[in-house]
Amino acid sequence: MTIQVIIAGFKGKMGQAAYKMVVEDPNLELVGLLDPFTEETELAGVPVFKHKEDLAQLSADVWVDFTTPKVAYENTRFALENGFAPVVGTTGFTSEEITELTALSAEKGLGGLIAPNFAIGAILLMQFATQAAKYFPNVEIIELHHDQKKDAPSGTAIKTAELMSQVRTSQSQGLADEEELIEGARGADFDGMRIHSVRLPGLVAHQEVIFGSQGEGLTLRHDSYDRTSFMTGVNLAIKEVVKRDQLVYGLEHLL
Ligand code: NAP
């Protein structure tokens, strides 16, 4: 049986990669596309919509979302309310929004996924970092992305910090009376762990987690060199969420 898929944000960098992946998979059927700024009404026989409300009439199983942090919450809510299992890669959700959407999915009996990173290597990096944080509580994150990224720090960096904080002894790092000579020099503060965001043309998505201890250091690094790195995870998620009855946060919960 084929799984019917909608893609929101199909003209974006991730949306284009998702479009290609879905049309090339014989087990998936693309049934609708959403882009509020387009003039097209169809693409290779697939209807294109400007307003998400018009997608409610479609018969579809899964809503893939690679849009912008501003609209992703409303889109995910809309998907759940209309019986589409969301597979959301858009970043920028607050933990309250994730809790709320998880509860809504359970109420509707629909599976779903919000994943700050669909690359398998990035999932492993988060798991290794969580293991290490137990023994190395002094840690900083450097995330590096292309310069068109709208949110900072990245969803992956926040999720990595959240996971580490569950096992790490909470502490602030650096001197208590350290002084920033330029505001922001020490990065964002998550439970004492510092997160630094680099934005440069040419980059895709990269992250380093650097641990320091007496006389030793440990550096973990993951690189997504191009957007195909995320598509194995998106494909897997589409096929898994239709079997589930509650939304989860993080691809590791579907592996
Ligand atoms: P992008 O190239 O800017 O694509 C976003 C697309 O969404 C644009 O085409 C944009 O149109 C469109 N859009 C804006 N508002 C919309 C709405 N209301 N409904 C539908 N589409 C709308 O960005 P990207 O690099 O593809 O990234 C998209 C999101 O995925 C970001 O949040 C990014 O952080 C995240 N991301 C996640 C992963 C992961 O593995 N989870 C990996 C990479 C990126 P306009 O350009 O005309 O505004």
Nearest CA to ligand 1 atom 40: 117
Instruction: Flag whether pLDDT at 1 surpasses 90.
Output: no
Percent of the chain with pLDDT over 70: 100
Mutate to test the pocket of ligand 1, among 6, 14, 199, 254 (most ligand atoms within 8 A of CB): 14
Q: Which amino acid is at 56?
A: A
| Percent of the chain predicted with pLDDT > 90 | 97
Cis amide leading into 153 (omega within 30): yes
- Ligand 1: centre distance to CA 10 (Å): 8
Give the integer Cα–Cα distance in Å for 61 and 196: 38
Domains of the chain: 3-114+228-254 (3.40.50.720), 120-224 (3.30.360.10)
- 117 marked ligand binding residue: yes
CA distances (Å), origin 32, targets 36, 55, 197, 202: 13, 7, 35, 31
Report the pLDDT value the prediction gives residue 163, as an integer from 0 to 100.
96
Do residues 197 and 145 touch, judged by C-beta distance below 8 A?
A: yes
Ligand 1 geometric centre to CA of 67 (Å):
3
The per-residue pLDDT for range 3-31, each reduced to its tens digit, is 999 999 999 999 999 999 999 999 999 99
Backbone angles phi, psi at 252, to 5 degrees: -60, -25
Tell me whether residue 232 is annotated as binding: no
Confidence tier at 172 by pLDDT (50, 70, 90): confident
Confidence at residue 242, expressed as pLDDT on a 0 to 100 scale: 98
Q: Is 159 annotated as a binding residue?
A: no
Active site residue 20: no
Would you state the pLDDT for residue 152? 97
**Each residue's pLDDT tens digit, 228-246:** 999 999 999 999 999 999 9
Q: Is 239 a catalytic residue?
A: no
Find where tokens 């494909």 sit. 235
CA of 244 to the centre of ligand 1 (A): 26
Q: What's the mean pLDDT in 176-201?
A: 97
pLDDT tens digits, one per residue of 68-123: 999 999 999 999 999 999 999 999 999 999 999 999 999 999 999 999 999 999 99
Of 33, 67, 93, 204, the residue with max ligand 1 atoms within 8 A of its CB, to mutate for a pocket test, comes to 67
Does residue 30's CB lie within 6 angstroms of at least one atom of ligand 1?
no
pTM: 0.89
Confidence of residue 212 (pLDDT cuts 50, 70, 90): very high
Tens digit of pLDDT for each residue in 23-52? 999 999 999 999 999 999 999 999 999 999
182-204 average pLDDT score: 97
